[in-house]
């Protein structure tokens, strides 16, 4: 594998943080394990903690053992660890960036990286803007014969105006072509596979429209609470943490028109068109079509309420659950409801897309009781796969029709070890491929849509908590679908078990 053109310094602001330990360093180790990193490559973790280089490497060694998809191999680690450095620094202190530049220039010469640099901001959102300004002022992000790229974690702003301000700062320093707004959902195998499923199969694309599809549900549920992320979550909530980024990105992939090509810009053009075509909500529609929730104690009292979590206000009105009904106003989708829900402390962890097809017109078997609909289910996590549900005769002498499933689960089989999302995304940053990263106009349009909801929420006091931990959310979310004569479809394990709540 020719990796010479990937040579670079990978610089992590927040090098001692949870994201670095759980995702970034294991991803880099796995890329090294597979031989996908060049010899001319080094990692610099920047943090404020007082650590020796040896202590830092020990921390990363333990992180890789805990979170890598490949086993810790001492030969690989010996090779990689020689190219990992720790740099202690208060990254809010502008006067320290000159010394950082000298340090990085020395490493670039030592590892022959040609001045190519990736700055990954694995820090709290309030530090994005000052770090980028300091990088620009210290000339760390200006190169003529080499490149510098910046990777920004979500949330990208708190609302439209703050996102516009942050974007202006970043693009002024790095340019749009070197700005990578990361959404790790887009690196997941099945979301990448979605384009193949749609556009490489005559079976699906002709049916991918309002004439054949009854409804589409997008669900992302977690069993955990906020864990140690109380201060962050108090500022974000479910709508900023999940809906504005992950859920709307998933929707745009499902609903977009066939792109003119598979180039990054063509795909992102098609996605942003969907976001522009989302039917805008007025205040009354928000109240009617958007549900927010916050978990209380579980029914058995074993799980704490959100307001009892560490570093969460005991009177917090931050939502941990959001459900909404959306429509895409174009010829393909007009009238088809898209239902989104995401929440914490739910009965199972899953992210999935469920596409329900319409009933057969003049169905000869309409007299059969409880005839199930055709479903296409795309499982994003933790299982990765697809299954198609259709009706067939049950073997035997009686004419009994039952739903059956054809399924493909790519990470159920022994030997399948799918790359983690961050591996794919970090590798794409090194290659300069922005396909799986949000372009500014995508971020702009998603915030433009979400801002209307946030404005309405500011005016109303929610009745929290309104769902017990370890349940599927507030009853208002069920009522939201019941008004359309529908219900949430929960695909339980094993895959062949279909049912509602």
What's the rounded Cα separation, in Å, for the pair 252 and 270? 8
| φ, ψ for residue 88, nearest 5 deg | -80, 130
Dihedral (Cα; 441, 445, 450, 456), 10-degree rounding: 130
- DSSP H helical segments within 360-483, as ranges? 421-431, 440-458, 475-482
Sequence-distant (6+) residues with CB within 8 A of 193 are 378, 386
CA proximity to 471, closest of 381, 345, 385, 356: 345
Residues 238, 185: Cα–Cα separation, whole Å? 15
Contact 417/69 with Cβ under 8 angstroms?
yes
Choosing from 246, 361, 367, 492, the catalytic residue is 246
89-96: Cβ within 8 A, 24+ apart: 89/46, 89/47, 89/48, 90/48, 91/13, 91/46, 91/48, 91/123, 91/127, 91/130, 91/131, 91/134, 92/127, 92/130, 94/134, 94/137, 94/138
DSSP letter string over 248-267?
A: HHHHHHHHPPPPSSSSHHHH
In DSSP terms, 179 is beta-bridged to 150
Beta strands per DSSP E along 314-374: 321-326, 338-343, 350-357
**Biggest CA pair distance of the chain:** 84
Which residues are 495's β-sheet partners?
Answer: none
Cβ count within 10 A of residue 446: 25
Tokens of 239: 């709508």
Distance CA 480, CA 337 (A): 11
Mark whether 246 is an active-site residue.
Answer: yes
Active site residues: 246
């Amino acid at each position: 594998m020719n990796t010479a053109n990937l040579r670079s310094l990978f610089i992590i602001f927040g090098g001692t943080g949870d994201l670095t330990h759980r995702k970034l360093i294991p991803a880099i180790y796995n890329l090294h394990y597979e031989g996908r990193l060049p010899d001319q490559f080094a990692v610099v973790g920047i943090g404020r903690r007082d650590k020796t280089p040896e202590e830092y490497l020990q921390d990363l060694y333990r992180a890789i053992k805990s979170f890598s998809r490949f086993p810790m191999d001492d030969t690989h680690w010996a090779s990689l660890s020689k190219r990992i450095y720790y740099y202690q620094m208060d990254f809010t202190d502008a006067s320290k960036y000159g010394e950082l530049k000298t340090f990085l220039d020395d490493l670039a010469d030592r590892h022959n990286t040609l001045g190519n640099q990736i700055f990954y901001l694995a820090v709290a959102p309030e530090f994005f803007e000052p770090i980028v300004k300091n990088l620009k002022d210290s000339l760390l992000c200006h190169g003529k014969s080499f490149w510098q790229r910046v990777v920004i974690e979500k949330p990208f702003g708190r609302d439209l105006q703050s996102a516009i301000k942050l974007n202006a700062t970043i693009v002024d320093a790095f340019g749009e072509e070197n700005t990578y707004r990361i959404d790790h959902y887009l690196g997941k195998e099945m979301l990448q596979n979605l384009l193949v499923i749609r556009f490489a199969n005559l079976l699906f694309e002709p049916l991918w429209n309002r004439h054949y599809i009854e409804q589409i549900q997008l669900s992302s549920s977690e069993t955990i609470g906020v864990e140690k992320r109380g201060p962050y979550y108090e500022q974000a909530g479910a709508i900023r943490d999940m809906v504005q980024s992950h859920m709307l990105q998933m929707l745009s992939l499902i609903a977009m028109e066939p792109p003119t090509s598979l180039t990054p810009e063509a795909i992102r053009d098609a996605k942003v068109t969907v976001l522009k075509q989302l039917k805008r909500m007025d205040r009354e529609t928000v109240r009617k079509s958007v549900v927010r929730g916050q978990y209380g104690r579980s029914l058995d009292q074993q799980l704490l309420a959100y307001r009892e979590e560490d570093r969460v206000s005991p009177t917090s009105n931050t939502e941990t659950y959001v459900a909404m009904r959306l429509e895409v106003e174009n010829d393909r989708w007009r009238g088809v409801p898209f239902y989104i829900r995401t929440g914490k402390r739910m009965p199972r962890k899953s992210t999935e897309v469920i596409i329900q097809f319409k009933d057969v017109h003049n169905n000869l078997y309409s007299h059969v009781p409880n005839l199930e609909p055709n479903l296409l289910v795309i499982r994003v996590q933790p299982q990765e796969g697809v299954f198609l549900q259709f009706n067939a005769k049950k073997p035997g002498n009686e004419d009994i029709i039952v739903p059956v499933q054809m399924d493909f689960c790519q990470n159920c089989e022994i030997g399948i070890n799918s790359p983690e999302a961050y591996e794919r995304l970090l590798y794409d940053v090194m290659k300069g491929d922005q396909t799986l990263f949000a372009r500014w106009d995508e971020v702009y349009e998603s915030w433009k849509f979400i801002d209307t909801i946030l404005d309405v929420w500011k005016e109303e006091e929610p009745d929290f908590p309104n769902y017990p931990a370890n349940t599927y959310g507030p009853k208002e979310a069920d009522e939201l679908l019941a008004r359309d004569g529908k219900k949430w479809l929960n695909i339980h394990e094993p895959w062949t078990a279909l049912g509602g709540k």
